[in-house]
C-alpha cells in the first residue's frame, strides 16, 4: 500500500532536519577518521529507519519503497556511508519478508525493525563477484544442521551485524541461509578475516568473512525446505531494492555536490564577477541539475514498480546505472567548479568525489547493469 503522502513528507522532512542538525556538523571529521558513526546510527534506529520497509505488524514503519528511496537520498546528501548501514539490513529484511517462513519472520523481523539486530548480505566471494555461478562457499547437511565452509568478500556491516543472509552451495544448488551471530570479530566458526580499506565509503565496515566448520540449524534455510536451491533467485530479486538504494544514494551525493557548486559559483569571483556569470559555469550547472532530476525520476520509477509488486530488474538497473554515472559526473564537475578548493579537505567536494565511484561498482557493476537491462528488454520485446 502506498505511504500516505503527508506522512511521507513528514518523515522525509524529519530525516532532512536530522541530517542538517546532526550529520553535517560531524560527517567530514568522522569520514576522514574512518570512524564508525555509532551515535548517528543509534539516532537512525530511534527514528525507526531500520524498520523502514518492514511491515507494521512486525514493528516496522511499513513504508513504500518510493518513500524509502527519498529517505536514502536525504541521508546520502549528508553522508553517503549512513545509507550503507541501512542498505544490506533492508535487503536482508526484504528476503525475510518475501521468502521467510512464518516462524522466521516472527522471530527475526521485530528485532530488525528496531535496529536491535542488524542485517548483512553475503553473496560475493574473492573469486566470485558478478559471476555468481562461481560461488564456492558450501553448506553440507549433517543431521538437522548444516556445516558452513568458505570465504565471503565485500560484506558491509559484516562485523556489527547479527543476521547474515548468506549464499552457500547445498546439494540442491545455491541456498540462502539466515545466519544468526553475535556482533564482533568472531563468533563460533565465523571470523572477520580482513578489514578492507577503501577510497571512500568510510566509517562503515566492509570486511572479508571466513566460515570454518560453522554449524547452523536447518531452520536457518530461508523459506525452509522449500527454499533449498532457490537462494540465487531470492537474492537477485532482493537486490532490486539494493539497486534502488544505490540509485537514491547516488542522487543524494549528486544533489549535495550540485548544491555546493551552485552556492559557491555565486560567491566566488573571477575577473570582477561571480563565476556563476560565466557561461562555461552556467552550462555545467545546467547539465548537473538536468541529470540529477533525470536520475531522481528513474529512481522513483523503479521504486514505483517494486511497490506495485512487479519485477523491476530493468527499471532498477536503469536507475542504478544512470544515477551512479550521474553522481560521478556531477562530483567531478563540482570539483572543476571549486577549482583548487575542491581538491582540499576543507570542502566536502573531495569526499563526494571519492564516494561516487562506489555506486558505479556496488550492487553489480554498471557493465552488469547494462547486461541486465538488455536481457530484460529482449524478453519484453521478443519477436515471436
Q: Of residues 145, 346, 363, 367, which has the active-site annotation?
A: 363
d(CA 285, CA 307): 33
CA 335 to mean position of chain CA atoms = 25
Please say whether the beta carbons of 167 and 232 come within 8 A. Answer: yes
Question: Strands 273-274 and 269-270, how do they pair?
Answer: antiparallel
Conformation bin of residue 57: beta by default, left when phi > 0, alpha when psi is -120 to 50? alpha
For the question of residue 363 being annotated catalytic, the response is yes
Reported residue count of the chain is 384
Please say whether the beta carbons of 28 and 69 come within 8 A. Answer: no
d(CA 300, CA 80): 19
d(CA 256, CA 270): 24
Number of H helices, E strands in the chain: 11, 10
Task: Compute φ and ψ for 115, nearest 5 degrees.
Answer: 85, 5
d(CA 362, CA 128): 14
Cell numbers linked to 249: 544514494
Q: Which residues are catalytic?
A: 363
Amino acid at each position: 500500500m502506498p505511504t500516505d503522502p503527508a506522512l511521507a513528507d513528514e518523515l522525509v522532512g524529519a530525516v532532512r532536519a536530522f541530517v542538517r542538525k546532526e550529520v553535517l556538523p560531524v560527517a567530514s571529521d568522522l569520514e576522514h577518521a574512518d570512524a564508525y558513526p555509532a551515535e548517528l546510527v543509534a539516532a537512525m534506529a530511534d527514528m525507526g529507519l531500520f524498520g523502514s520497509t518492514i511491515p507494521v505488524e512486525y514493528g516496522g514503519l511499513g513504508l513504500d519503497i518510493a518513500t524509502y528511496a527519498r529517505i536514502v537520498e536525504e541521508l546520502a546528501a549528508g553522508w553517503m556511508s549512513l545509507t550503507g548501514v541501512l542498505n544490506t539490513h533492508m535487503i536482508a529484511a526484504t528476503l525475510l519478508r518475501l521468502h521467510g517462513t512464518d516462524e522466521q519472520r516472527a522471530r527475526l523481523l521485530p528485532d530488525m525493525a528496531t535496529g536491535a539486530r542488524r542485517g548483512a548480505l553475503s553473496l560475493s566471494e574473492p573469486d566470485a563477484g558478478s559471476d555468481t555461478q562461481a560461488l564456492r562457499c558450501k553448506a553440507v547437511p549433517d543431521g538437522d544442521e548444516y556445516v558452513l565452509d568458505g570465504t565471503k568478500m565485500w560484506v558491509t556491516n559484516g562485523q556489527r551485524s547479527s543476521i547474515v543472509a548468506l549464499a552457500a552451495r547445498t546439494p540442491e544448488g545455491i541456498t540462502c541461509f539466515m545466519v544468526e551471530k553475535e556482533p564482533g570479530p568472531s563468533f563460533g566458526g565465523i571470523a572477520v578475516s580482513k578489514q578492507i580499506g577503501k577510497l571512500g565509503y568510510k566509517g562503515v565496515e566492509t570486511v572479508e568473512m571466513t566460515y570454518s566448520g560453522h554449524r547452523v540449524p536447518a531452520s536457518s534455510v530461508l523459506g525452509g525446505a522449500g527454499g533449498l536451491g532457490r537462494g540465487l533467485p531470492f537474492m537477485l530479486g532482493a537486490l532490486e531494492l539494493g539497486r534502488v538504494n544505490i540509485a537514491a544514494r547516488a542522487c543524494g551525493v549528486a544533489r549535495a555536490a550540485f548544491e555546493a557548486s551552485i552556492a559557491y559559483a555565486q560567491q566566488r569571483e573571477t575577473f570582477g564577477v561571480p563565476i556563476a556569470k560565466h557561461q562555461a559555469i552556467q552550462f555545467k550547472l545546467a547539465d548537473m541539475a538536468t541529470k540529477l532530476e533525470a536520475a531522481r525520476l528513474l529512481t522513483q520509477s523503479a521504486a514505483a514498480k517494486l511497490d506495485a509488486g512487479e519485477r523491476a530488474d530493468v527499471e532498477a538497473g536503469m536507475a542504478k546505472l544512470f544515477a551512479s554515472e550521474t553522481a560521478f559526473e556531477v562530483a567531478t564537475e563540482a570539483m572543476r567548479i571549486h577549482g583548487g578548493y575542491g581538491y582540499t579537505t576543507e570542502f566536502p567536494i573531495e569526499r563526494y568525489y571519492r564516494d561516487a565511484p562506489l555506486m558505479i561498482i556496488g550492487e553489480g557493476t554498471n557493465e552488469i547493469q547494462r547486461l541486465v537491462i538488455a536481457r530484460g528488454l529482449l524478453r519484453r520485446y521478443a519477436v515471436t
